A and B are shown apart, each in its own frame.
Chain A
Amino acid sequence: EAQVTQNPRYLITVTGKKLTVTCSQNMNHEYMSWYRQDPGLGLRQIYYSMNVEVTDKGDVPEGYKVSRKEKRNFPLILESPSPNQTSLYFCASSFERSLTDTQYFGPGTRLTVL
């Protein structure tokens, strides 16, 4: 089944404890992206990647890192999480780098930073 998977789905952590949220897609998509969703603010893009080893900042990259060592995986790393990073996170992928087609979204990761 074609899908985007994220792990973990739920995570509660404490300030400063490094964490990684994994994202994987099995559709051979070129483009991958991370968003965070907060009430009243909609979805805001954190980082995106148009190909292996190519990553770029989105709207709200501060406090986050990403890597794209393989085409299928695009992990999101929070080196030192803070409470303002409590949010619902979505990974997405698209076949076309140019975003002229559908984006497929993962099920989301709900992160709480205490």
Chain B
Amino acid sequence: SQQGEEDPQALSIQEGENATMNCSYKTSINNLQWYRQNSGRGLVHLILIRSNEREKHSGRLRVTLDTSKKSSSLLITASRAADTASYFCATLQTGANNLFFGTGTRLTVIP
């Protein structure tokens, strides 16, 4: 399966600390996307990184992509309690028409 896998499954940090979560996948991709989901609610798109890009920033978010290792990381700097959510990576396999989602990382930011 193309499904990505996030690591760790759960992460608990203090407010103000940085949070890093990783995503690994299995085959070549067109792009990789990160989404956030607050408990039981719809997913919100955070950032998209294309296969020819290595790093992207958006506010306190930094995403890296290493296609040789088939992995990506999402860094949230200076975390806030409001960042508490589940984070998912999704990959668009080369030549495919649909996204494959990982199982997510549950982030808890303690005030």
Interface residues, chain A, with chain B CB atoms under 8 Å away: 4, 33, 35, 40-45, 48, 50, 56, 58-59, 88, 90, 92, 97-108, 110
Min CB distance, A39 to chain B, in Å? 9
Contacts of B90 in A (CB 8 A): 43, 103
Check if A104 sits within 8 Å of B3, measured CB to CB: no
- Chain A binder among B13-21, B60-68, B71-79, B101-109: B101-109
Check if A45 sits within 8 Å of B98, measured CB to CB: yes
Contacts of A90 in B (CB 8 A): 42-43
Interface residues, chain B, with chain A CB atoms under 8 Å away: 3, 30-31, 33, 35, 40-45, 48, 50, 88, 90, 92, 97-104
Knowing A102-B45, A102-B48, A107-B41 touch, does A97 contact B98 (C-beta < 8 A)? Answer: no
Min CB distance, A94 to chain B, in Å? 9
Contacts of A99 in B (CB 8 A): 30-31, 92, 97-99
Knowing A43-B88, A56-B97, A105-B42 touch, does A100 contact B30 (C-beta < 8 A)? Answer: yes
Q: Which of A56, A88, A103, A108 contacts B99 (CB 8 A)?
A: A103
Contacts of A106 in B (CB 8 A): 42
Check if A103 sits within 8 Å of B41, measured CB to CB: no
CA distance A55 to B30 in the complex (A): 21
CA distance A102 to B92 in the complex (A): 12
Min CB distance, A54 to chain B, in Å? 10
Knowing A33-B98, A99-B92, A103-B99 touch, does A42 contact B43 (C-beta < 8 A)? Answer: no
Min CB distance, B54 to chain A, in Å? 18
